[in-house]
């Protein structure tokens, strides 16, 4: 799309840039395969394998975001690079390195909200989960996941963002009240895991849009997101293969569907209908994403390892 309107002399630069990004992604993929090969030779529990894969992917995404954006930011020292890689969970180097003076430091109520979510998640993990009867393992696993999400993604990561903002770094929390979403576009584009969203947009969606159009960009972004989640969730669990990929492809279909004229007429002017439409896709097929092998073999065993069961 946009590349059609570039000046001819700029097209070779853009093409070289694409090859450079593709090469970096290929190197990252080879590194991940090496990690996966090493994991198979280690006698680790399923939850340990999951965390290794997750951290390896996170490191690759960090590297891709740094190499893609750092040349357009202020000159960064090695110390700054280390802080970005190991001191922040976001994946937008521009945001982390940009000097901004127009942002407002966090209010006390925001600190209280972040701390409250952290404590609530901890209470669910270490107080509530242990009281659930053993005959309901799926309820144990899903409750534990909710607690872990509140404790980490909504709690500790939010506190970390506030700490950086207190130091003058204008970062945003990676989660932004996803329950308020009234469309899948809002859910995935603004509110849920904005760290990965940035990498997905830069490295998958935008290149596909420029070459193949918006529909192909949406499908590719959700397909690769599904495969990544299959790698993190299904491979360590030794089961449920394809469930996470199907879940994300359904979201791609739902996102494209809500852009059609009939859907826009149906959803326009009603936040309730928009919220229900979003919940139908997010919550309805959640069993495909967090399937039984993952809950039983990974989540519950991890809860036992941290003393929650």
Q: pLDDT tens, 108-129?
A: 999 999 999 999 999 999 999 9
226: helix, strand or coil = helix
Rounded CA gap, 254 and 302, in Å? 33
Show Cβ contacts of residue 140 under 8 Å, excluding neighbours closer than 6 positions.
Answer: 129, 132, 134, 295, 300, 303, 309
What is the torsion angle, in degrees rounded to the nearest 10, for the CA atoms of residue 90, residue 31, residue 235 and residue 53?
-40
Contact 238, 46 (CB under 8 A): yes
Q: For the chain, which residues score pLDDT lower than 70?
A: 1-42, 69-77, 99-103
Instruction: List b or e across 10-42, with b for residues whose CB sees 16 or more CB atoms inside 10 angstroms.
Output: eeeeeeeeeeebeebeeebeeebeebeeebeee
Domain boundaries, the chain: 2-103+168-305
How many Å apart are CA 62 and CA 54, to the nearest integer?
12
Average pLDDT of the chain to the nearest whole number: 85
Question: What pLDDT, in 10s, does the model give residues 238-256?
Answer: 999 999 999 999 999 999 9
**CB distance 181 to 162 below 8 Å:** no
Mapping DSSP to helix (H, G, I), strand (E, B) and coil, where does residue 37 land? Answer: helix
Residues 6+ apart with CB under 8 A from 304: none
């Amino acid at each position: 799309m946009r590349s059609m309107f570039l000046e001819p002399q700029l097209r070779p630069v853009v093409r070289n840039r694409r090859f450079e990004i593709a090469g970096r992604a290929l190197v990252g993929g080879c590194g991940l395969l090496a990690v996966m090969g090493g994991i198979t030779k280690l006698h680790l529990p399923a939850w340990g394998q999951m965390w290794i894969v997750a951290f390896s992917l996170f490191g690759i995404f960090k590297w891709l975001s740094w190499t893609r954006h750092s040349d357009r930011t202020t000159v960064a020292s090695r110390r700054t690079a280390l802080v970005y890689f190991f001191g922040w969970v976001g994946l937008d180097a521009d945001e982390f390195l940009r000097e901004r003076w127009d942002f407002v430091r966090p209010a006390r109520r925001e600190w209280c909200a972040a701390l409250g979510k952290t404590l609530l998640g901890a209470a669910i993990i270490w107080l509530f989960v242990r009281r659930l009867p053993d005959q309901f393992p799926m309820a144990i696993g899903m409750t534990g996941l909710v607690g872990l999400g509140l404790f980490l993604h909504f709690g500790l990561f939010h506190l970390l963002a506030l700490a950086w903002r207190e130091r003058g770094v204008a970062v945003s929390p990676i989660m932004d009240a996803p329950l308020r979403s009234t469309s899948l576009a809002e859910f995935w584009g603004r509110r849920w895991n904005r760290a990965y969203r940035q990498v997905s947009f830069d490295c998958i969606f935008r290149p596909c849009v420029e070459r193949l159009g918006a529909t192909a960009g949406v499908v590719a972004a959700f397909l690769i997101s599904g495969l990544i989640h299959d790698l993190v969730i299904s491979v360590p669990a030794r089961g449920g293969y394809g469930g996470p990929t199907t879940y994300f492809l359904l979201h791609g279909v739902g996102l494209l569907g809500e852009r059609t004229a009939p859907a826009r007429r149906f959803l326009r002017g009603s936040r309730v209908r928009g919220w229900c439409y979003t919940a139908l896709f997010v919550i309805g097929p959640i069993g495909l994403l967090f399937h039984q092998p993952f809950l039983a073999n990974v989540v519950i065993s991890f809860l036992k390892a941290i003393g929650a069961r």
